[in-house]
Amino acid sequence: MDPALAKSPREMIEKVSEQLGCSPTSRELAVYLDQHDDLRFLRQEFLLPKIADLPPSDLSLADGSKDCIYFVGNSLGLQPKNARKYIDEELEKWAKTGIHGHEMGSRPWAWAENNLEVLMANVVGANPEEVALMNGLTVNLHLLMLAFYKPTAKRHKVLLENQAFPSDHYAVESQIQLKGFDPSRSMLLLKPRQGEDTLRTEDILSTIEREGDSIAVVMLSGVQYYTGQLFDMEAITRAGHAQGCYVAFDLAHAVGNAELRLHDWGVDFACWCTYKYLNSGAGGLAGAYVHDKHRDTVKPALLGWWGHNLKTRFQMTNVMDLQPGVKGYRLSNQPILLVCPLQASLEIFSKTTMRDLRRKSVLLTGYLEYLLLHYYSQNRSDPTRPVVRIITPRDPAQRGCQLSLSFSTPVRAVFKELEKRGVACDMREPDVLRVAPVPLYNSFTDVHRFVAVLGSALGAQP
């Protein structure tokens, strides 16, 4: 697959189909793209749900394949095949060695998560010492905000999206209240322009420039969960720093999805969950990042035993030997059974690069967009035909895997019809279906099947 062509999905789709002598919408093209996909071997590293194992459905409506069409990795990634093996190993070690498991085996419980931080740092574009694996996303967001959000009478605002994920909104709101400020005055909310679905980068940057003197922290998502918009994190960070603001990102929908360079961009702090594109299982161990420049200047507000230097941690002196940087934000030991599936997934990421995954993702999602526009965009000759509208930016540089779709028919009915046909995607209120072909394990044939099944689902509407 030519990387240069993959930068222009439509151009590549039409050029390759012309070379093959087939229609761009034919299954033949999907099969060809899969056969020439250098990353196709990664799919075999995961367990793909079977249609028969999903909630009861009308299986006669499926297309005959036993595999479901799994386009919901933006909510919960698939299980890596080695996850069960690694968990079983730790259960066996516990059974046979008891407490000695803290210092034995390839995953000593007392520092097992430390062994994964190099792999994690590669995914987010950071130095290993800038990354810690701990807690859940919202816990980490609170810990980091407690340290970095130091409001003053002049500089007290936190800039975030009007439609931020609820956990971000609640965390920011409570941090503002905790510091004695009024959220109605200190939460600066970014809204799209009238009639638009997504934020313009120019509007984000102009808001930072205009309000910068009053902003303490710019706190945005890397990828907006509802619209699927990928923000220009480098430009936003640069703009925030020019105004003296800390700049942070919730990377829940960006990590393992977009190519990140947190260190080079100079992002001050970030946090993320690992159960979406990082496939660590529901409630998996989360991650946190603090740039090296803050390792000795911004200290955690809350201290715990696991923030103590590992070399002297078990001397039990009650005299804190705080680890520098993000390592000092650890509070307690991490559950080994959560470390195992994350290790299994990060090892799969180590078999490729985020650049190569991103290259495939641009084409995979571009192929989905191409087919949707071909079959389900507004048809003036048949105004009664159901219409699908893509609210995610059309520019591949402004989106990750996910396309957010709205329909001219009730979205809940469409969602239920898709479920009947073995499609796993998700619905978000009030009216969006989120569809995410993930380059680690989804194929071009999956995309082609989905678009065909979508036609059947829309045709079932009253």
pLDDT in tens, 84-131: 999 999 999 999 999 999 999 999 999 999 999 999 999 999 999 999
> CA-CA distance, 272 to 243, in Å (whole number)?
25
Q: Is the pLDDT of residue 3 over 70?
A: no
The arrangement of strands across the sheet holding 426-428 comes to 388-390, 403-407, 432-435, 426-428
> CA-CA distance, 256 to 279, in Å (whole number)?
9
Q: Is the pLDDT of residue 6 over 70?
A: no
Nearest to 37 by CA among 353, 439, 351, 355: 439
Structure tokens at 176: 């503002």
Higher per-residue pLDDT: 204 or 385: 204
Identify the H or E element spanning 218: strand 215-221
| Helix %, strand %, coil % of the chain (to 5) | 45, 15, 40
Q: Is the pLDDT of residue 446 over 80?
A: yes
b/e for 246-255, b at 16 or more Cβ within 10 A? bbbbbbbbbb
> CA-CA distance, 380 to 394, in Å (whole number)?
22
pLDDT at 370: 97
Instruction: Identify any residues that bridge with 406 across adjacent strands, giving them in sequence order.
Output: 389
Is the pTM higher than 0.85?
yes
Tell me the three state secondary structure of residue 399: strand
Q: Kindly give, in sequence order, each residue whose CB lies less than 8 Å from that of residue 226, ignoring residues fewer than 6 positions away.
A: 163, 404, 428, 432, 434
> CA-CA distance, 94 to 111, in Å (whole number)?
16
Rounded to an integer, the average pLDDT of 152-166 is 97
In whole numbers, what is the pLDDT of the chain averaged over residues?
Answer: 94
Rounded to an integer, the average pLDDT of 447-462 is 89
Rounded to an integer, the average pLDDT of 179-183 is 97
Rounded to a whole number of angstroms, the CA Rg of the chain reads 23
With cut-offs at 50, 70 and 90, classify the pLDDT of residue 67. confident
pLDDT digit string (tens) for 393-435?
Answer: 999 999 999 999 999 889 999 999 999 999 999 999 888 999 9
pLDDT at 4: 43
With cut-offs at 50, 70 and 90, classify the pLDDT of residue 63. low
With cut-offs at 50, 70 and 90, classify the pLDDT of residue 377. confident
Q: Is the pLDDT of residue 64 over 80?
A: no
With cut-offs at 50, 70 and 90, classify the pLDDT of residue 381. low
Residue 331: CB atoms within 10 A of its CB come to 16
Average the pLDDT over each of 51-55, 136-140, 305-309, 396-400 and give the range with the smallest value.
51-55
Identify the H or E element spanning 32: helix 27-35
Q: Kindly give, in sequence order, each residue whose CB lies less than 8 Å from that of residue 405, ignoring residues fewer than 6 positions away.
A: 372, 388, 389, 390, 391, 432, 433, 434, 435
In the numeric block, the tokens 């959000």 are attached to 149
The percent of residues in the chain predicted with pLDDT above 90, rounded, is: 89
Q: Is the pLDDT of residue 32 over 90?
A: yes
Q: Map out the domains of the chain with their CATH numbers.
A: 3-67+353-459 (3.90.1150.10), 85-349 (3.40.640.10)
Q: Is the pLDDT of residue 335 over 80?
A: yes
With cut-offs at 50, 70 and 90, classify the pLDDT of residue 379. low
Nearest to 65 by CA among 455, 421, 418: 421
Answer for the pair 208, 239: CB distance below 8 angstroms, yes or no.
Answer: yes
Residue 123: CB atoms within 10 A of its CB come to 26
pLDDT digit string (tens) for 289-323?
Answer: 999 999 999 999 999 999 999 999 999 999 999 99
Rounded to an integer, the average pLDDT of 237-249 is 98
Rounded to an integer, the average pLDDT of 444-461 is 92
> CA-CA distance, 126 to 136, in Å (whole number)?
20
With cut-offs at 50, 70 and 90, classify the pLDDT of residue 72. very high
- Which residue pairs, CB below 8 angstroms and at least 24 apart, start in 88-94? 89/340, 90/336, 90/337, 90/340
pLDDT at 380: 53
The percent of residues in the chain predicted with pLDDT above 70, rounded, is: 94
In 222-302, at which residue ranges do the beta strands (DSSP E only) sit?
246-250, 269-272, 287-290
> CA-CA distance, 280 to 346, in Å (whole number)?
9
Nearest to 148 by CA among 182, 179, 181: 179
Alpha helices by DSSP H, listed for 116-232, are 117-124, 137-148, 166-178, 183-186, 201-211
